[in-house]
Amino acid sequence: MRAKEIKFLEESFKKYYFDHFDLIHVPKRTSEREFGFQKFNSGMIRHMSLKDNKELHLLLMQNIPSDIYCSNAYYSFPNLPMNEKDWKEADLIFDIDAKDLHLECRSNHCVTKCNECNEVSKLSDYCPKCNSSKINIKSLPCKTCIEESKKEVFKLSNILIEDLGVEKKNIQVYFSGNEGFHVYVYESQFQQLGSRERAELVDYLMFKGTIPETFGMKKLKPNRSLFPEIEDKGWRGRFSKEIFGLKSKRSKIVSELISEGYSSFQKKLIDISTTIGAQIDPNVTMDIHRIFRLPGSLNSKSGLTKILCRDIQKFDPYLESSFLDENTVEIMANCPIEFKIKNKKFGPFDNENTTVPTYTAVYMICKNLATIS
Amino acid sequence: MITLGKDEIAKYPFLADAGQYLKDKGFTLQQFGIDPDLKLSIDKAFNRVQVSTEGKIYKSDLIDGEASKDFVLEREVFSFLLAIVLLKLTGMTTLIKRFALAEARRAEKYLEKDLANISDGSKKELAIRIIDDLFSIQIKEQNNHFIIPVSNYLQHSINFHEREWKLINRHVEKGFVFLTPHETVRLIRKELGNYITTKIFNAKTPTMISGFEEPVDKLISLSKKFVTHTITTGEYPPCIKHAIEVLERGENLPHSGRFMLATFLLARNQSVQQIAPLFKNAPDYNERVTLYQLNHLAGTSGSGTQYSCPSCEKLKTQNLCFAIPECDNIFNPLQFGKRRK
């Protein structure tokens, strides 16, 4: 990114931070958390500790970070190097990202930017101009992406509450500021679990690592009564609803399952995992030392805010997380697809000068699809 | 400390204070080496260790955890305590570990029986208390099952590699895992083994006692057959091959895949300079960043911690496992191709 764009983004971000201190707070037990931030075009600075909102706001004003992060873990000495921090516990966190859902809509709203010749084109594996495979994919998530990501949030919350005994009041859902949602679980029995145990929780939530026997299928002499019932709790119940649909169909489908055999059953379990399992990023949940985007802060991939979703069902990120101002800016835009922010349509732009509101200019520059004219 | 009755000590002898027990009974170790009647207990102790080296559980004289006569009960405890003395005198870690595991499995049988005991509530209570006191697992009973908090379950089940122990294959409801008495005690086998091992390691080693030399020598020669040598074919496992192929094609390998590849090669004694060129084709390759990250993983910069190659289980979760039959149920990619000579 050129100095011109960085200056514009920093000015816009600073104004946001100044105008919206009310949206950005330090989390509870502040002094036990590690903080970190990045500036535009620069590396990560981490292992910091902050005392209160005042210190946070000062940091924002002085450094104008492109991104700011805070640990989900609690430490005795958060500002010391990792192996001296003295890890105490960590909130459970989940990242649901539309790009991991492999949605069909993706090809409609992704563009490819070549790292070698800067050509912007519709989604492809190679640059159509210079044939290079060193490309960057920029996604401008659509409504489907958001709605499908929400479904994953619902699946996840349901399993957390019903199976894992998490209280609803201890689950908080945030729009990540780009392509998905961040889910936090506070004060659960899982606070002190290490990375390996959290990996097991991930497999549970994603319906991974299942064996046919769990769902009644045996290698030898299958027994019809061992197959689950629709009203069963937990995964056996969810499996039944997915496979049998109706109680009345159970008998017929069990016969089919038995006649198709053990390995076919095994394959079915893998096939339905993406439908019934919650599609979360395993690495995020397994990482107990992660610094995670701070709620209320801006995401430098989009200029949108990571914001708490009070009513996730109705939540629209392009209305509720865009806080930058309407002042117009002239940009040189290169974006072969159309997108919508605050109910206004923009694009497609073919290497052309255009005037757009600040929030759109920031969005496009963050995605590397525009420069300041 | 749990107060134990006579037959409980015989079932769970590792819970007793060994030295104190002998003292209370008015015996010294020396007497066992000389007295022909007491010498029988050494034979029993020897047998108890020998059986454990064969991966079997020592056949007790107790019937359903109870003894017909008091002396049977005593001999049972003595043989355990003397087995520890023999093991300490051999100083062979491999024997101690095998013995501890076999003893854990023996105790497991009694714990399971006690947990499932419908007629005698106090036996069930004691088993529940032993599990809570020793391993901090709070078990509750619900509808013919024992339920334990998911977090407790995970901390123990994580050591099992069989898929049936994965949380996804258990009945889980409202934050609890449902287990049968058998599964409950199986869950703590390793910890029980560790508990017994630690107790043996921490016990004082006596000086050689007359009458103990022969069984000790026999056990030492017995332990020699457990020394194994391994050879490595040097071939890469499929997960590593896959990661290298992805990079060679110039495609993006996720961070977790790069971590696996780098830690694997570092563990195979490749240098940072040898590994770095592998990442050259990555879409976001930056030489400075790659070297920084590799040095960090190798422990030559940053905190100095050398990162180890993730387990197969972790790689499965991260979608980085491409197991083939030759993987042969290994637990870590580094074990691939290792064969016992």
The mean pLDDT value for A159-180 works out to 97
> Is the Cβ pair B250, A133 closer than 8 Å?
yes
The token pair at A47 is 């292992």
The per-residue pLDDT for range B262-280, each reduced to its tens digit, is 999 999 888 998 899 888 8
Identify whether residues B107 and B193 lie together within a single domain.
yes
pLDDT of residue B118: 79
Question: Total structural domains in chain A?
Answer: 2
Q: Nearest chain B Cα to A125, which residue?
A: B251
Identify whether residues A269 and A303 lie together within a single domain.
no
Q: Which residues of A touch B317 (CB under 8 A)?
A: 199, 202-203, 208, 282, 286
Identify whether residues B153 and B268 lie together within a single domain.
no
- Residues B128 and A352: their CA atoms lie apart, in Å, by 74
| Residue A316 bears catalytic tag | no
Identify whether residues A194 and A95 lie together within a single domain.
yes
- Residues B240 and B320: their CA atoms lie apart, in Å, by 9
**Considering B226, B252, B284, which residue would you say is the last residue of a domain?**
B226
A208 Cβ partners below 8 Å, 6+ apart? A202, A273, A277, B168, B316, B317
Q: Mapping DSSP to helix (H, G, I), strand (E, B) and coil, where does residue A181 land?
A: strand
The per-residue pLDDT for range B18-31, each reduced to its tens digit, is 677 878 888 888 88
Compute, in degrees rounded to 10, the torsion defined by CA atoms B326, B330, B336, B341.
-90
Identify whether residues B77 and B45 lie together within a single domain.
yes
Identify whether residues A163 and A237 lie together within a single domain.
no
The per-residue pLDDT for range A288-308, each reduced to its tens digit, is 999 999 999 999 999 999 999
The token pair at A300 is 């430098």
- The alpha-carbon gap from B171 to the nearest alpha carbon of chain A, in Å, equals 7
Which of B170, B289, B317 is the mutation pick for testing A, counting most A CBs within 10 A? B317
A18 pLDDT band, cuts 50/70/90, is very high
The per-residue pLDDT for range A208-238, each reduced to its tens digit, is 999 999 999 999 988 999 999 999 999 999 9
| Residue A95 bears catalytic tag | yes
A182 pLDDT band, cuts 50/70/90, is very high
Identify whether residues A14 and A45 lie together within a single domain.
yes
- Residues A354 and A356: their CA atoms lie apart, in Å, by 6
The per-residue pLDDT for range B278-322, each reduced to its tens digit, is 888 887 788 888 999 999 999 887 777 889 999 998 898 888 999
Identify whether residues B143 and B220 lie together within a single domain.
no
Q: What is the ipTM of this complex?
A: 0.93
DSSP-derived secondary structure for A220-275: SS--GGGS--TT-SHHHHHHHHHHH-SGGGHHHHHHHHHHH-HHHHHHHHHHHHHH
- Residues B304 and B294: their CA atoms lie apart, in Å, by 12
Buried b (16+ CB within 10 A) or exposed e, A358-370: bbbbbbbbbbbbb
pLDDT of residue B252: 81
Question: Total structural domains in chain B?
Answer: 3
Rounded to the nearest integer, the mean pLDDT of chain B is 86
The per-residue pLDDT for range B177-219, each reduced to its tens digit, is 999 999 999 888 888 888 899 988 888 888 888 888 999 999 9
**Considering B198, B226, B254, which residue would you say is the last residue of a domain?**
B226
Is the confidence at residue A157, as pLDDT, over 80?
yes
DSSP-derived secondary structure for A285-328: HH-SS-EEEPTTSEETTTTEE-EE-SSTTT--HHHHS--S---E
Q: Is the Cβ–Cβ distance between A153 and A183 less than 8 Å? A: yes
Q: Which of A100, A163, A203, A281 is catalytic?
A: A281
Omega before B36 cis (within 30°)? no
Identify whether residues B254 and B206 lie together within a single domain.
no
- Identify whether A32 is part of a domain: yes
- Identify whether A153 is part of a domain: yes
Give the structural domain span for A217.
Answer: 210-276
| Residue A271 bears catalytic tag | no
Compute, in degrees rounded to 10, the torsion defined by CA atoms A72, A74, A79, A80.
-120
Identify whether residues B297 and B207 lie together within a single domain.
no
Is the confidence at residue A118, as pLDDT, over 70?
yes
Q: Using only the alpha carbons of chain A, give its radius of gyration.
A: 23
Identify whether residues B43 and B142 lie together within a single domain.
no
- The alpha-carbon gap from B17 to the nearest alpha carbon of chain A, in Å, equals 33
> Is the Cβ pair A236, B171 closer than 8 Å?
yes
The per-residue pLDDT for range B36-88, each reduced to its tens digit, is 888 888 999 999 999 998 888 877 766 665 666 677 778 888 899 999 999 99
**Which of A156-160, B95-99, B337-341 shows the lowest per-residue confidence on average (mean pLDDT)?**
B337-341
Identify whether residues A10 and A68 lie together within a single domain.
yes
- Identify whether B27 is part of a domain: yes
Identify whether residues B238 and B222 lie together within a single domain.
no
The runs of H, that is alpha helices, within chain A are 3-19, 53-63, 106-109, 143-162, 195-206, 234-244, 250-260, 262-276, 282-286, 317-320, 358-366
- Identify whether A269 is part of a domain: yes
Q: Using only the alpha carbons of chain B, give its radius of gyration.
A: 26
pLDDT: is B11 or A296 the higher one?
Answer: A296
Give the structural domain span for B320.
Answer: 232-340
- Residues B215 and A366: their CA atoms lie apart, in Å, by 77
Q: Is the Cβ–Cβ distance between B211 and B32 less than 8 Å? A: yes
- Residues B314 and B308: their CA atoms lie apart, in Å, by 12
CATH code: domain of residue A166: 3.90.920.10
Identify whether residues B183 and B195 lie together within a single domain.
no
- Identify whether B296 is part of a domain: yes
A204 Cβ partners below 8 Å, 6+ apart? A159, A163, A164, B166, B167, B168, B172
Identify whether residues B215 and B83 lie together within a single domain.
yes
Identify whether residues B93 and B217 lie together within a single domain.
yes
- Identify whether A314 is part of a domain: yes
Total-model pTM: 0.84
Residue from B147, B187, B315, B134 nearest A189 by CA: B147
The token pair at B19 is 């030295």
**Which of A81-90, B220-229, B242-251 shows the lowest per-residue confidence on average (mean pLDDT)?**
B220-229
- Identify whether B280 is part of a domain: yes
The per-residue pLDDT for range A75-93, each reduced to its tens digit, is 999 999 988 999 999 999 9
pLDDT: is B91 or A69 the higher one?
Answer: A69
Identify whether residues A299 and A319 lie together within a single domain.
yes
Identify whether residues A162 and A68 lie together within a single domain.
yes
- Identify whether B1 is part of a domain: no
Q: Which residues of B touch A287 (CB under 8 A)?
A: none
Q: Is the Cβ–Cβ distance between A315 and A337 less than 8 Å? A: no
